[in-house]
Structures are given as C-alpha cells and as structure tokens.
Amino acid sequence: MNQRLNLSAGPHVRDRWTTPFIMMIVLIALTPAAVIGVVVHWVKFQSLNALWIILASVGSAMLTELLFCLATRRKITIWDGSAAVTGLLLALCLSPQTPVVLPIVGSVFAILVVKCCFGGLGKNFINPALAARCFLLLSFSNGMTNYPGVNELGVDALSSATPVAMLKAGSMVNVTKMFLGTAGGVIGSSVLALLVGGLVLWGLDVIHGEICFSVVGGFTLCLALFGGHGFDPGYLAAQLCSGGVIMGAFFMATDYTTSPVSRLGQLVYGCLIGVLGALFRILGKSADSFSYSIIIANLFTPLIDLYIVPKPYAYRKSAIEKAAGVVKPPLLKRIPKPVIALTIIAALAGVALSGVYSMTKDPIAAAELAKKRESFKVVCEDAADFKDVDAAQKALDALEGGSYGGGKFGTTVIEEVYEAVDTSGNTVGYVFSVTNRNAYNPPLKLALGVDPDGKILKIAFIELNETPGKGSKADEPAFKDQFVGQTDTSAVDTMSGATVTSKAVLNAVNAGLDFFRNVIMGGGK
C-alpha cells in the first residue's frame, strides 16, 4: 500500500461528455444537410463542387488552427473539433458554385482572425463562420452571389416586393422545394435536414431551446406584424425557409461562445436576432441580412451577460415570499385587470387584421398587377392590354426563377414576359421585367419593351440603387435613350466611371433580347 496515491481535489468523477464529443454531435447533426446539398448539386449539375467546398473549408479551418498552434507554440487544439464545426458551417452557407478558393480564404479568416487572434476556443466575440461568410460577401461579392436556381434561396424574389410573381407561380410549390432543399441556393439549404439536425441537438440538450425558438418566434411574429402580409402562412413559411433562417436559428445563433449564458439572456438575445432579421428583411435590400442580425446580436452578448444575471433560487422574490410564509392568490388573480383586457383587445385586433388582410389580399394583388402593367405601358406606349405568352411562361417555369442564359448574361433573372396588344387586339410588341444581380448595388431591375421585329422600344428602370452621380446616370436619357430602335446593344456607349452598372444594364437588356429571339420568336415559329 505504499505506492503513490493521487491527491487531486474532488469531485473525483466526471461526466462522459467532453468538448470534442459535443463538437462531434454538432458535426453529425449537420451531416444530413451537407449530404443533401452535395447530392442535389450533383443531380442538377453533375458537379461535385459542393463536396470540394466542404472538404476545402473544413480542411483549411483545421490546418489553419494547427499552424497557428505550432507557430505560437500552444497546445494543439484541433482535435477539440471546433475548427471542423466552423469550417463545415461556413461551407454550408456558401453557394455550391462558389470557387473553391473562397471557402479556403474564408476558413483562414474565421480561424486565424476571428478565433485564434482573440484567444481561441471560447474567446471569439462573433461567430467565426458567419464572420467569414460576411467577409467573403464584402470582399468577393461576384464569386459569392453566383447561385444556381433561385438567387439566395429566392429571398430577394420574395422580400423585394414581387408578390405578383409569388402569387402567379404559386408560392407553395416554391416553399416545398426550399423546405426539402432542392430549390438551389447555398449548400446547406435543406430546411428539413437542418430542422432534423437542430431538433436532435435540442433534444440532446446540446443547444438551448431558449435561443433557437426565440429566434424563430421573434422573426415570425415580427414579420407577421410588420411584413404587410399578416399571418399569411404561405408568406411566413417562405420567409422561414429562405435565407438561412433555420440554419441561423439552430446552428449559428446557438454558438455557445457568442450567446448569453443565462436563460433570460438567451431569450433576449434570440428575440433580438429574430426581430432584427425580420426588420432587415422588410426594410433592407441585402439578401444576407440574417447573418448580419446574428453578428449584431453576438456583439450584444457580453453586455447581456454583464447585466442579465439570474438570482439564485433562494434570492428570487417567490422564494423569499415563500420562506416568509406569504400566501399568494392564484396566478390569474395576480395579473392586473388592464393587462388582461389589453391582451384580449390586442388578440381581437390581430384576428380582425388577419381577416381584413385575407379579404383584401386578392383586390390588393389585382391593384398591384394593374400598377405593374402601367409601368409596362411606359416601355410600350401603344399597348392597351398585356397577355401571357405560353412559350415564354413555360421557359420561365423551367428556370424556376433561376438565372437565364446559363451565365452568359451574368446573374440575370427574367421575371415576367407579356405580349402587348392594342385596342383591336393586334400585337404591338413584348414587354419584359428583368433583374440583374451583378450591379454595383444589386438588384438592378428594368422593364424592356421590344417591338415584334425585335427592335427595342424603350427601357425603364423599376429598381436602381446605384451610386448617385455615377451608376445612377443609367436612368438619364443620355444613356437609356441609346437603346431605342436598336436590335442589339453593340452601338451603346457605356457610362464612364460606371462600368459595372453599364455592364449590368447591358446584360439585362441582352438577356431580354436573347429571350425574345430564342424563346418567343423561336418558340412561336
């Protein structure tokens, strides 16, 4: 009995869960989404690019951490798995068509700058994967906005007020695809897979329900109240299934390090993300607003943790009253009557508003359609009415709202095509609404009128957010009147100092002309 005995302080037993084990569970929970992303992209484009992105991202994240540890002579920490999780999360929120170099750059940024330079695991102040994504978006916007299918999961198609397209295409079809992850967009776009993974994590107590459900709840409620569509399930479902909301709520916002520790703090933090995300969706232009709202909330976390500290049970008011023997009336009687009254009134008002909304939904849609047609009249002055073109509609449906021309015109989406007829029913031309996403501050949206011979009647801008004094000159007659009467754009002079904008306009117009020649005329003959 004289051998050496260990003398460390108790407790002398430990739980089996370790940091690497938790990270492994998170990786497993993300696997279905990753697999679906890779498979969908392969089936659609016979390309394994999504897989290479995932491998490059995870590999470079781990390698960066290894090199940092070696360079700074620290304990090698790559096997705790957190670098792998960061790499995978980053990969899942990139488009499968992203050049493979971008995830590598992003992972290096995430691990080296955001994580290691701030002290490594548990010390980063914002979510490394999201920070890297935003870094890439700002630095390499061309490579980053190259989406197959619906641009950014159709976020913009939905949020930048084209309910017409939504109503026309039947939003439910779209939502189902987005839910399953076959609609395109980022690699980790399968809401179903993410939900399954997220709920498993929640069930295993790996992530806090206080965060993920308050994010989703705050987001939904805020959209319902201020989104202009009330509690329309189609609209809310489309919003929830798009733009990384579920990914953000279950995998990004719940990052331990950058979220508050207390339950109340977590609720506040989650609601902040949800509300910010919804407001950005309603008011903002960026399709990546949800990433930004999580990062902003990350920055509030230290503040929340400093001030929201729950008292131990014994110091809470209820415990003190109970210890003192105070007998309380039942819960309902303790709520002041005005609160009950106001709650009931608010609930009734909400129901009434929803009712009004659903009653006026169709008239409003009709009015918006009329307005739209009015704007088409600008580019085709002789038109009295606009008719659907079957061949065009078929082609658009086949694209599922995706980019037209396979990249020939950049990321350009043809949204609507109508045949313009005069009062006696003769065809006087065709009108298009075209959106290009490669402008300086996308989207750039224009209406294009073409006569039956393929000559441009006129172009007009529906949405133009370019730099005032530079790209904004596109809307001046000096530039846009050059198009009138042309059958191609070779004679059009680009604007000096606004080449990006010029190129975007030309791409949009060329896409429209190409569509006219190949689909409408080609299909018509």
> For 441-460, what is the HEC assignment?
CCCEEEEEEECCCCCEEEEE
CB closer to other proteins, 9 vs 43: 9
- Interface stretch with other proteins, choices 19-27, 146-154, 190-198, 220-228 (CB under 8 A): 19-27
Tell me how far apart the alpha carbons of residues 214 and 248 are, in angstroms, rounded to a whole number: 12
Write down the least CB distance from residue 323 to other proteins, Å. Answer: 5
CB closer to other proteins, 38 vs 207: 207
Tell me how far apart the alpha carbons of residues 61 and 46 are, in angstroms, rounded to a whole number: 27
- Interface stretch with other proteins, choices 16-24, 127-135, 138-146, 443-451 (CB under 8 A): 16-24
Position 353 contacts other proteins (CB under 8 A): no
- Backbone angles phi and psi of 395, in degrees to 5: -65, -40
Write down the least CB distance from residue 211 to other proteins, Å. Answer: 10
- Interface stretch with other proteins, choices 8-16, 48-56, 468-476, 477-485 (CB under 8 A): 8-16
Hey, what amino acid is at 378? V
Of the residues 73, 315, 330, 370, which one makes contact with other proteins according to CB under 8 A:
315
Position 200 contacts other proteins (CB under 8 A): no
Tokens of 140: 């390499």
- Backbone angles phi and psi of 429, in degrees to 5: 160, -175
Write down the least CB distance from residue 299 to other proteins, Å. Answer: 15
Position 74 contacts other proteins (CB under 8 A): no
Write down the least CB distance from residue 465 to other proteins, Å. Answer: 39
Does the CA dihedral 425-428-429-433 come out positive or negative?
A: negative
Write down the least CB distance from residue 262 to other proteins, Å. Answer: 7
Cβ burial, residue 351 (10 Å; 0-12/13-18/19+): exposed
Residue 295 CA to its chain's centroid (Å): 14
Position 9 contacts other proteins (CB under 8 A): yes
Residues in region 238-257 near other proteins by CB under 8 A: 256-257
Of the residues 44, 74, 123, 371, which one makes contact with other proteins according to CB under 8 A:
123
CB closer to other proteins, 12 vs 337: 12
Write down the least CB distance from residue 523 to other proteins, Å. Answer: 59
DSSP at 410: B
Determine the straight-line distance between the first and last CA of the chain, rounded to whole angstroms.
Answer: 100
Write down the least CB distance from residue 322 to other proteins, Å. Answer: 6
Residues in region 204-223 near other proteins by CB under 8 A: 205, 208
Position 71 contacts other proteins (CB under 8 A): no
Contact criterion met (CB below 8 Å) for 361 and 439: no
Contact criterion met (CB below 8 Å) for 249 and 207: no
Q: Give the count of residues interacting with other proteins (CB under 8 A).
A: 44
Write down the least CB distance from residue 224 to other proteins, Å. Answer: 30
> At 446, is the secondary structure helix, strand, or coil?
strand
Of the residues 101, 309, 346, 384, which one makes contact with other proteins according to CB under 8 A:
309
Contact criterion met (CB below 8 Å) for 431 and 379: yes
How many C-beta neighbours within 10 Å does residue 73 have?
A: 6
DSSP 370-393: HHHHHHHHHHSTT-SEEEE-HHHH
Q: 317-346 mask for other proteins (x: CB under 8 A)?
A: --x--xx-----------------------
Angle, CA 165 vertex, CA 159 and CA 171 arms, to 5°: 80
Residues in region 429-488 near other proteins by CB under 8 A: none
Write down the least CB distance from residue 75 to other proteins, Å. Answer: 9
Enumerate residues 6+ apart whose C-beta is below 8 A from 498.
440, 466, 467, 470, 471, 473, 474
Q: Which residues bind other proteins (CB under 8 A)?
A: 1, 3, 5-15, 17-19, 21-22, 77, 80, 119-123, 205, 208, 256-257, 259, 261-262, 305, 309-316, 319, 322-323
